[in-house]
């Protein structure tokens, strides 16, 4: 069975090479190469992910993968790095395998694959999982998925806030009795 595939692969590669040679003989190709090198240099200086040729030529799988720079997730725990990767993908979902590969490339503090799967599944406020699949996406890019609202956190000083309409506490007025410094009533 492998030999049948090997022969087919070789034929397709030979045909692709013929077409690539034809493209390279076109003067436009030289301009594409120069522009692509310039783009790569500028992206490297800007420290942003490098645009792939698949993205430039619009191959169908180009949008499904997002490039991750080596070291991009250093110092991040696996769940935070996974969320950062999903943020880069925006409205495209990612498989668990793709996320794990991205975290390894980015240098995140890795945990076991099963632990990451559990963490993503428990992160229901931020991440949605496709039923019966290891496919994840950020909730904010899945508008059809409804989640309850997070409880509003009350600041620590909320209990000491002054209700509106009441004046703030001030110095005692004349005639007010105040306990003495020792806590005992002075007579």
**Residue 125 lies in domain:** 67-145
Instruction: Kindly state whether residue 90 falls inside one of the protein's structural domains.
Output: yes
- What CATH number did the domain enclosing 132 receive? 1.10.10.10
Residue 95's Cβ-count burial label (10 Å; 0-12, 13-18, 19+) is middle
Instruction: Kindly state whether residue 163 falls inside one of the protein's structural domains.
Output: no
Instruction: Kindly state whether residue 136 falls inside one of the protein's structural domains.
Output: yes
User: What's the pTM?
Assistant: 0.49
Instruction: Kindly state whether residue 27 falls inside one of the protein's structural domains.
Output: no
pLDDT tens series, the chain, 187 aa: 456 788 898 999 999 999 999 999 999 999 999 999 999 899 888 877 677 777 777 665 544 567 788 888 889 999 999 999 999 888 788 889 889 988 988 888 877 889 999 999 998 889 999 888 888 999 888 888 877 666 666 555 544 554 555 555 555 555 555 555 554 444 4
Instruction: Kindly state whether residue 55 falls inside one of the protein's structural domains.
Output: no
Start-to-end Cα distance in the chain: 107
Instruction: Kindly state whether residue 122 falls inside one of the protein's structural domains.
Output: yes
Q: How far apart are CA 44 and CA 66, in angstroms?
A: 16
Instruction: Kindly state whether residue 129 falls inside one of the protein's structural domains.
Output: yes
Give residues with Cβ within 8 angstroms of 137, minimum separation 6: 86, 89, 91, 92, 93, 94, 127, 128, 130
Number of domains in the chain: 1
> Residue 93's closest CA among 42, 68, 117, 127?
127
Instruction: Kindly state whether residue 48 falls inside one of the protein's structural domains.
Output: no
């Amino acid at each position: 069975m492998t030999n049948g595939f090997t022969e087919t692969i070789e034929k397709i590669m030979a045909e692709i090479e013929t077409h690539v040679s034809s493209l390279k003989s076109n003067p436009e190709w030289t301009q594409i190469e120069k522009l692509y090198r310039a783009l790569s240099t500028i992206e490297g200086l800007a420290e942003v992910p490098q645009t792939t040729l698949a993205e430039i030529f619009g191959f169908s799988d180009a949008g499904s993968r997002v490039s991750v720079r080596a070291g991009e997730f250093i110092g991040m725990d696996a769940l935070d790095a996974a969320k950062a990767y999903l943020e880069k993908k925006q409205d495209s979902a990612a498989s668990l395998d793709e996320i794990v590969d991205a975290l390894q490339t980015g240098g995140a503090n890795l945990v076991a694959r099963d632990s990451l799967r559990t963490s993503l599944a428990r992160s229901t406020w931020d991440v949605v999982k496709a039923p019966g699949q290891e496919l994840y996406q950020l909730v904010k890019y899945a508008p059809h998925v409804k989640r309850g609202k997070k409880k509003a956190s009350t600041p620590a000083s909320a209990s000491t806030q002054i209700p509106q309409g009441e004046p703030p506490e001030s110095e005692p007025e004349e005639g007010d009795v105040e306990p003495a410094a020792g806590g005992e009533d002075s007579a």
